[in-house]
Amino acid sequence: MKEIIAFLRVEAGKENEILEKLSSLNEVKEACIVFGEYDIIAHFKIDIEEDLLPQATIIKAHRIISEKLHGIEGITDIVFLPVGESFIKRRGPVQVEIPVPINNPTD
């Protein structure tokens, strides 16, 4: 499994359309519209066999993603960054204590 983050520049006004198309790709685990130099950031997880050379695995993953994104009209520029390590903060269930009024027998 290889993870790659893609920074996308897209044609003005096509952000939502492209975001919707990205969401239909199985390899996209998360994508969001951002403000700044790029318009969309997408997190890809590619299920490929790890090569003995890490660079070869990255090249394979890059090729797979490039082929998928090449078919989406409106993307003008793509920058790929392979993920070295990732950390996902998971929250457990939230416990809320609701104060229960105590009946005072003197009332």
Residue extents of the structural domains in the chain: 2-82
Give 22: exposed, middle or buried? Use CB within 10 Å, 0-12, 13-18, 19+.
Answer: buried
The pLDDT tens digits for 30-42 are 999 999 999 999 9
CATH, domain 2-82, list 3.30.70.920, 2.60.40.10, 3.60.15.10, 3.40.50.12140: 3.30.70.920
- What pLDDT, on the 0 to 100 scale, is given for residue 47? 79
In this structure, the number of other CB atoms found within 10 A of the CB of residue 72 comes to: 16
The pLDDT tens digits for 62-106 are 888 888 888 899 999 999 888 877 776 666 665 656 666 666 666
Distance CA 2, CA 61 (A): 7
